[in-house]
Amino acid sequence: MGGGNNQNKVVKKGNSLVITIAVLVVLAIIVVAGSTYFLQPQILTSLPSTSAQTNPAPSNQHTPPVKVDVSQEVQTYNIQIKNFAFSPQTLSIRVGDTVVWTNYDITSHTITSDVGNELASNVLLQGSPFSHTFTVPGVYNYHCSVHSSMTGAITVQ
Ligand SMILES: [Cu+2]
C-alpha cells in the first residue's frame, strides 16, 4: 500500500497548495482593497479641481467654518440718544454694518458728521430712529447740530 500512501501525500500536497494559493489570493485582495481605501483621501486632496464640486458639502458638516460665516454677517448696532448724550459714545463696527440711533429725549437732536456728509440726519423728534449703513472703512466723528457738546464717533473696520 506504499503507492496509496504516496497518492495520499500528493493529494495532501495538492490540498495544501490550493489552500496556500487561496490564502495568497485573499491576502492580495485585502492588500489591493486596503491600498485603494487608503489612497482615496490622497486622491481627493491631490485633485482639488475635480473634487471641488463634492467638497463643499462635507466641509460644511465640519463646524469650524460656520464661525467664520457668522462673523462675516452684517450686524445692526443701536445707539441711544439720552440726556443730551450718545450712548455708547464710541463704537467699532465692520464694513456693511448698520447703526441705528434712537432719540429718547424730549428735545430733538441730529446726527451730523463733523467733516463731510456721511451722517446727515433730519432733526429727530423723541422716539425717532435714524439708521445708516457704513460701507467705507474709517473713523466717522459726528455731533448734534443743535447741541454742539453732543459728540460721538463710529470706527468702521
Ligand atoms: Cu441735540
Per-residue pLDDT tens over the stretch 78-122: 999 999 999 999 999 999 999 999 999 999 999 999 999 999 999
User: Distance from the CA of 124 to the center of ligand 1, in angstroms?
Assistant: 9
Taking the CA atoms of residue 125, residue 128, residue 133 and residue 138 in that order, the dihedral angle to the nearest 10 degrees is 40
User: Distance from the CA of 108 to the center of ligand 1, in angstroms?
Assistant: 6
The pLDDT confidence band at residue 70, using thresholds 50, 70 and 90, is low
Q: What is the CATH number of the domain that holds 132?
A: 2.60.40.420
User: Distance from the CA of 111 to the center of ligand 1, in angstroms?
Assistant: 8
Give the whole-angstrom CA distance, residue 83 versus residue 53: 57
User: Distance from the CA of 137 to the center of ligand 1, in angstroms?
Assistant: 26
Within this chain, do residues 61 and 119 fall inside the same structural domain, yes or no?
no
Within this chain, do residues 78 and 151 fall inside the same structural domain, yes or no?
yes
User: Distance from the CA of 90 to the center of ligand 1, in angstroms?
Assistant: 17
Region of 107 (left: φ > 0; alpha: ψ -120 to 50; beta: rest) is: beta
Number of domains comprising the chain: 2
> Could you count the other beta carbons within 10 Å of the beta carbon of residue 151?
15
User: Distance from the CA of 105 to the center of ligand 1, in angstroms?
Assistant: 9
Within this chain, do residues 31 and 101 fall inside the same structural domain, yes or no?
no
Domain containing 7 equals 2-69
Q: How high is the pLDDT of residue 65?
A: 55
Within this chain, do residues 115 and 46 fall inside the same structural domain, yes or no?
no
At 110-144, the pLDDT tens digits run: 999 999 999 999 999 999 999 999 999 999 999 99
What cell was used for 70? 457668522
